Amino acid sequence: MNVLRHGLRFVAAASIILSAGASAAQAESAQPGRWFLTVGGGLQSTSEPASHGATFEDPLFGSEAGEWTADYGGGRGEAFELSLGFRLAPRWGVGASVSRLSFSEEVEVTGRIPHPFRFDRMSVVEGVGSGLSRDETTVSAHLMWFIPAGRKVEFALFAGPTFYEAEQDLVSGIGFDRSYPYDAADLRGVERSRQSDSPVGYNLGGELAWYFGRRTGVVAAARYSRSTAHFETAEGCCKPVDVGGLQTSLGLRVRF
Amino acid sequence: MLLAPCSGFAQEVHKREAAAAVLFSLALLAAIAPGEAQAQAGPSVREFAVTSEPDAIFDLVRLEARISELERDGALRLLPSRVDRHLPGRVQQSLRQIHRGVPVYGGGVVRQLRDGVTLSVFGSLHEDIDLDVTPRLSPAEALAAMREAAGTGPATGEPPTLVVLPMPLGGYVLAWRAMMRDIKEYFVDAGTGEVAYVRDAMRNNEAVVGVGRGVTGALQKLSVSSTGERFEAYDRLRPAETVTLDGQSDVEVVGALIIGPDLEFETCTIAGCGVEWRQHVATDPDNWWEDEAVADGHAHLGLVYDYLYERQAWNGMNNTGSRVFSIVNMDDLNAFWISAPFGPEARGVVAFGSLPFGAPLVTLDIVAHELMHGVTFHSVRDRTGEPLLDSHTGVLGPESFSDGLFEYRCGVRLSRGGSLGRVGDPIVCRNGRFVLLWNEGGAINEAFSDILGFSVEAFVHPPGAGKLRADYLSGEDIDLIVRRSDEPASIGLPVRDDLPPPFGKAVGYPDSIDNAVRFFAIEIEEEDRILYLPLVMIDGRQFSVRSDIGYDGVHWNSTILSHAFYLAVEGGTHASSGREVEGVGSGNRDRIERIFFRAMTELMPARTTFSLTAAVLRQSARDLHGDGSPAFRAVDQALAAVGL
């Protein structure tokens, strides 16, 4: 949370400074202002946590240990973004954005359960755990380079740091059912633990803005962001997990 | 040679053993023909092994008519029918022989029906019974006679019951029967008050002597219970609970756990107020079990249970899912099964001692062997009303024999007493020839127990030779190979080493009915009893003196049938007959196991012989797999190879 808080402070401070400059400039000209605010949403593909697993003990295992592995499906989630920018010069500008990604994923779990009466006779359980959620809140700052492509169309490239607040449900254990003669078992479910980390990474991307009005337009953007969070798993601390990913979004922009 | 007994009840057994004193009361049969056979000597007993095969169909029809007639007359009483556990549509019936309202000991038939049609009938009927069934003795007087003979009181609160007892040398006795606390069932003549027959309720494993290097050291998993303060060898993870009690090498503890309270001084029953077995459950403070007897005994008890449940659909000792008990750390050089009404909950119990200075007798095959005695007991008794009985049968032997010093002819009487009997007792003869006797029922009982030992080993261990491998040896995991059913003759019978060959010569376990071990016996005329002598005829020709009678030689002769089991599974050439057997192969061994198990638990009559058992086994194979099946062929050929 500290990193996120710092990110938000950074954005707030920048906004105050930039808004002061913008007010002065707007007073001088009736042209659209140098500020622009974008609200949008889209999809973000994510990298999945690498497979992980653990051994575990049980009062009915004797001196043998059970084990399980979890393979996460990863996938894509819906992202919401709010960004604010300021054109410092005709070709240059700065911006900051806040985005929120949340999605639910499945995990394939495989376990090996020791027999209560016999050594070296494992029951294999397999199944899919669902509803493991992943949430990423990011604050990004970026420097923008504008490339005009006509009177109403403009490209921009941007890059900068990203502050992450990443939360992930990770498998921490498995539940199973079995009955005499204990030669087979069924996966009852997975136990999960909520892990979080606040890494700092980067973002880069580009956008295409089409202004259908004097002050308003739509923006299509593609942003790639990346960092590495470290989560505590059943194996211990800490497992590196990639956060971020490729985000494509569509938004509405207002210049003022 | 037997070691000195250590416990009171065992002492009785060993005394009896050392004295070569065996009482028996059933018919002496010279030979049994397939189907129906008439004894050559002794009381009239007719055996039946009739099936619905085309060539026997008329025999079956005649027998059915006769059974119906006997049932109408009240001479056969139908016990509650049972649905076959393995084959749908099959019903197993048991009809008990009754004489004027009194059961005839061992008499009766078991009948298998399919959709109401008879498929097979096995059993024995005693004929020419002309006996008044009005007892002169009251039950209380009979009990007093039993108490005097046993030196202790009754085992249960049940009063003695009447039975018609066939006598070994002919005739029948109306007797009161009751189980006493010396673990013997007494039959007292209801007319004279004399003890007419004593049945030992303890089924021993073979006495073992002297060698071994301890347990294998293999880790075992034990299903136990936690009390919070300690762990108990009390398994609650299986459908039936299995409990291992610690005898702590204390004769009194073991005796109390087995026998229960003395009813002469207590008013409760064994089940109700016996020794509190819960106080004697084996325990461990940290669940890392240091006691090898408990670790092996408890783990193996569970694994044998698993085999019975998973492979034979048999739940526990008596197939009701009742709690199964074993006792380890028994101060005895033996392992045994003691039948109901003994044991902590009056359903019988298996108990395990140890080798002298060595390993506890709790290997997987030994535990399976003893537990199978319990299965045999319950399965046969619950169907027929009697457990699988000792059946002493005889053949006519030589006219004379020599012990190296003297030539003995019929009519000779013992000139020496001691272990051979009493001076003056005549050696049993008929028609100028010595009668050679053996306990077929006991040997068959032992064979099925060994077979379960092999089967459970195959269930748990990989095949191979050596320790912790599935094989056809008994006791090899503690370097105590007492028998082997793949090559029976390679193990010698106990040798009397104070005699020169051929009397003390090594003789292998029999692999065929043709080299069965049969005993000379003495006749105690005034008591109408017969006692085995440690003088045996191995193959009908070879005379030998053994160190003892080896529990009637039941373990010795067991290899006849267990060798047939081996051949039916593995196939091969029978050593002494040269017959070829197409075994089903070890990958299909479960078929043979099922055939044998079903034969005992569904079809076997209480009184059986080797030939009757062979007929039952063939029927079991036919029922399960059909006449033309490889499994039937394997069983049929294997039985034929061993002379059955």
**Cis-peptide into A181, omega within 30 deg:** yes
Could B223 and A118 be called an inter-chain contact, meaning their C-beta atoms sit closer than 8 Å?
no
Residue B410 contacts by C-beta under 8 Å, 6 or more apart in sequence?
B399, B400, B427, B429, B432, B433, B434
Domain range spanning residue A29? 2-255
Give the span between the Cα atoms of A72 and A74, in whole angstroms.
Answer: 6
Q: What pLDDT is attached to residue B1?
A: 23
Domain endpoint, select from B200, B217, B242: B200
Considering the domain architecture, whether residues B451 and B555 belong to the same structural domain is answered as yes
Could A180 and B303 be called an inter-chain contact, meaning their C-beta atoms sit closer than 8 Å?
no
Nearest CA in chain B to A118: B221
Considering the domain architecture, whether residues B269 and B193 belong to the same structural domain is answered as no
Q: For residue range B416-447, list pLDDT tens digits in order.
A: 555 555 667 788 888 889 999 999 999 999 99
pLDDT at B16 over 50: no
Backbone angles phi, psi at A3, to 5 degrees: -65, -40
DSSP B551-601: HHHHHHHHHHHHHHHHHHHH-EE-TTT--EE----GGGHHHHHHHHHHIII
CATH code of the domain in which B161 resides = 3.10.450
Output the average pLDDT for chain A.
84
Residue B322 contacts by C-beta under 8 Å, 6 or more apart in sequence?
B240, B316, B345, B347
**Chain A residues touching residue B302 (CB < 8 angstroms):** 117
Give the span between the Cα atoms of A144 and A87, in whole angstroms.
Answer: 8
Considering the domain architecture, whether residues B431 and B524 belong to the same structural domain is answered as yes
Instruction: Look at B20-29, B321-330, B360-369, B517-526 and tell me which has the smallest mean pLDDT.
Output: B20-29
Backbone angles phi, psi at B258, to 5 degrees: -80, -45
Nearest CA in chain B to A121: B460
**Chain A residues touching residue B299 (CB < 8 angstroms):** 117
Burial of B412 (0-12, 13-18, 19+ CB in 10 A): middle
Domain endpoint, select from B65, B94, B126: B126
Nearest CA in chain A to B304: A117
Domain endpoint, select from B91, B126, B161: B126
Considering the domain architecture, whether residues B466 and B518 belong to the same structural domain is answered as yes
Interface test with chain B among A64, A117, A178, by most B beta carbons within 10 Å: A117
Considering the domain architecture, whether residues B287 and B429 belong to the same structural domain is answered as no
Instruction: Look at B69-73, B394-398, B503-507, B566-570 and tell me which has the smallest mean pLDDT.
Output: B503-507
Nearest CA in chain B to A62: B221
**Cis-peptide into B34, omega within 30 deg:** no
Judge contact between B394 and B520, C-beta under 8 A: no
- B606: distance to nearest CA of chain A, Å? 32
Of B226, B299, B306, which is closest to A181 when you measure between CB atoms?
Answer: B306
Backbone angles phi, psi at B307, to 5 degrees: -60, -50
Give the span between the Cα atoms of A10 and A14, in whole angstroms.
Answer: 6
Q: Count CB pairs under 8 A between chains A and B.
A: 28
**In which element (H, E) is residue B302 found?**
helix B292-312
With a pLDDT cut of 70, the percent of chain A lying above it is: 85
Of A119, A180, A181, which is closest to B219 when you measure between CB atoms?
Answer: A119
Considering the domain architecture, whether residues B436 and B320 belong to the same structural domain is answered as no
DSSP B129-191: -------SS-HHHHHHHHHHHHTS-BSSSPPPEEEEEE-TTS-EEEEEEEEETTTEEEEEETT
pLDDT at B159 over 60: yes
- B272: distance to nearest CA of chain A, Å? 30
**Chain B residues touching residue A116 (CB < 8 angstroms):** 221, 223, 237
Q: What pLDDT is attached to residue B29?
A: 29
Domains identified in chain A, total number:
1
Could B221 and A182 be called an inter-chain contact, meaning their C-beta atoms sit closer than 8 Å?
no
DSSP B385-429: SS-PPP-EEEEE--SEEE-SS-EEETT-B-S--GGG--TTPBBPE
- B307: distance to nearest CA of chain A, Å? 10
Residue B624 within any structural domain of the chain: yes
Give the span between the Cα atoms of B28 and B435, in whole angstroms.
Answer: 9
Nearest CA in chain A to B239: A180
Question: What spatial distance separates the first Cα and last Cα of chain B, rounded to whole Å?
Answer: 31
B34-72 residues labelled b (16+ CB within 10 A) or e (exposed): bbbbebbbbbebbbbbbbbeeebeebbeebeebbeebee
With a pLDDT cut of 70, the percent of chain B lying above it is: 83
pLDDT at B271 over 50: no
- B591: distance to nearest CA of chain A, Å? 21
pLDDT at B27 over 80: no
Residue B598 within any structural domain of the chain: yes
Give the model's confidence band at A30: pLDDT under 50 very low, under 70 low, under 90 confident, else very high.
low
Of B219, B239, B306, which is closest to A117 when you measure between CB atoms?
Answer: B306
Q: What pLDDT is attached to residue B288?
A: 86
Give the span between the Cα atoms of B39 and B43, in whole angstroms.
Answer: 8
Residue B37 within any structural domain of the chain: no
Burial of B586 (0-12, 13-18, 19+ CB in 10 A): middle
Judge contact between B275 and B264, C-beta under 8 A: no
**Chain B residues touching residue A180 (CB < 8 angstroms):** 237-239, 309
> How crowded is the C-beta side of B438, counted as CA atoms within 13 Å?
30
Instruction: Look at B256-260, B332-336, B556-560 and tell me which has the smallest mean pLDDT.
Output: B256-260
Give the model's confidence band at B264: pLDDT under 50 very low, under 70 low, under 90 confident, else very high.
low
Q: For residue range A32-87, list pLDDT tens digits in order.
A: 789 999 999 999 887 666 688 889 888 888 888 899 999 887 777 888 999 999 99
DSSP B19-59: TT-----S---S---SSEEE-SSSS-EEEEEEE--GGGHHH
- A63: distance to nearest CA of chain B, Å? 8
Q: For residue range A126-140, list pLDDT tens digits in order.
A: 998 888 888 999 999
Could A180 and B238 be called an inter-chain contact, meaning their C-beta atoms sit closer than 8 Å?
yes
Q: How many CB atoms lie within 10 A of CB B9?
A: 22
Considering the domain architecture, whether residues B526 and B557 belong to the same structural domain is answered as yes
**Chain B residues touching residue A62 (CB < 8 angstroms):** 221
With a pLDDT cut of 90, the percent of chain A lying above it is: 47
Residue with tokens 């008929």: B430
Judge contact between B208 and B290, C-beta under 8 A: no
Give the span between the Cα atoms of B204 and B446, in whole angstroms.
Answer: 9
Considering the domain architecture, whether residues B268 and B345 belong to the same structural domain is answered as yes
Could A116 and B299 be called an inter-chain contact, meaning their C-beta atoms sit closer than 8 Å?
no
Residue with tokens 């013997």: B184
Give the span between the Cα atoms of B157 and A228, in whole angstroms.
Answer: 80
- A113: distance to nearest CA of chain B, Å? 15
Residue with tokens 């047939």: B564
Q: For residue range B98-138, list pLDDT tens digits in order.
A: 999 999 998 999 999 988 888 899 998 888 888 999 999 99
Give which of B75, B96, B102, B74 is closest to B190, Cα–Cα.
B102
Q: For chain B, list residues whose CB is within 8 angstroms of any CB belonging to chain A.
A: 219, 221, 223, 226, 237-239, 299, 302-303, 306, 309-310, 460
| Residue B66 three-state SS | helix
Considering the domain architecture, whether residues B268 and B334 belong to the same structural domain is answered as yes
CATH code of the domain in which A57 resides = 2.40.160.20
Judge contact between B172 and B187, C-beta under 8 A: no
Considering the domain architecture, whether residues B415 and B551 belong to the same structural domain is answered as yes
Tokens of residue A53, six digits: 């697993």
Could B237 and A63 be called an inter-chain contact, meaning their C-beta atoms sit closer than 8 Å?
no
pLDDT at B505 over 80: no
Q: What pLDDT is attached to residue A33?
A: 82
Judge contact between B96 and B103, C-beta under 8 A: yes
Considering the domain architecture, whether residues B145 and B273 belong to the same structural domain is answered as no
pLDDT at A155 over 80: yes
Pairing outcome for strands B324-328 and B242-246: parallel
Instruction: Look at B217-226, B253-262, B279-288, B506-515 and tell me which has the smallest mean pLDDT.
Output: B253-262
Domain range spanning residue B174? 8-26+131-200
Q: What pLDDT is attached to residue B33?
A: 33
Give the model's confidence band at B554: pLDDT under 50 very low, under 70 low, under 90 confident, else very high.
very high
Q: How many CB atoms lie within 10 A of CB B324?
A: 29
With a pLDDT cut of 90, the percent of chain B lying above it is: 45
Q: For chain A, list residues whose CB is within 8 angstroms of any CB belonging to chain B.
A: 59-60, 62-63, 115-119, 180-182
Q: What pLDDT is attached to residue B32?
A: 30
| Residue B7 three-state SS | coil
**Quick one: DSSP state of residue B508?**
B
Nearest CA in chain A to B224: A60
CATH code of the domain in which B241 resides = 3.10.170.10
Mean pLDDT of B541-548: 72
Residue B359 within any structural domain of the chain: yes
Residue B285 within any structural domain of the chain: yes
Nearest CA in chain A to B238: A180
Give which of A218, A222, A223 is closest to A253, Cα–Cα.
A218
Could B223 and A117 be called an inter-chain contact, meaning their C-beta atoms sit closer than 8 Å?
yes
ipTM given for this complex: 0.75
Residue B38 within any structural domain of the chain: no
Interface test with chain A among B221, B237, B468, by most A beta carbons within 10 Å: B221
Give the span between the Cα atoms of B508 and B563, in whole angstroms.
Answer: 13
Give the span between the Cα atoms of B172 and A118, in whole angstroms.
Answer: 53
Could B309 and A181 be called an inter-chain contact, meaning their C-beta atoms sit closer than 8 Å?
yes
Nearest CA in chain A to B307: A181
Q: Which residue has the higher pLDDT, B643 or A176?
A: B643
Domains identified in chain B, total number:
4
**Chain A residues touching residue B238 (CB < 8 angstroms):** 180
Give which of B436, B312, B422 is closest to B28, Cα–Cα.
B436
Q: What pLDDT is attached to residue B158?
A: 85
Residue B206 within any structural domain of the chain: no
B350-370 residues labelled b (16+ CB within 10 A) or e (exposed): bbbbbbeebbbbbbbbbbbbb
Give the span between the Cα atoms of B230 and B244, in whole angstroms.
Answer: 15
- B310: distance to nearest CA of chain A, Å? 8
pLDDT at B388 over 60: yes
Could B460 and A119 be called an inter-chain contact, meaning their C-beta atoms sit closer than 8 Å?
no
**Chain A residues touching residue B223 (CB < 8 angstroms):** 116-117
pLDDT at A4 over 90: no
Judge contact between B515 and B538, C-beta under 8 A: yes
Tokens of residue B500, six digits: 């020169």
Considering the domain architecture, whether residues B62 and B141 belong to the same structural domain is answered as no
Could A62 and B238 be called an inter-chain contact, meaning their C-beta atoms sit closer than 8 Å?
no
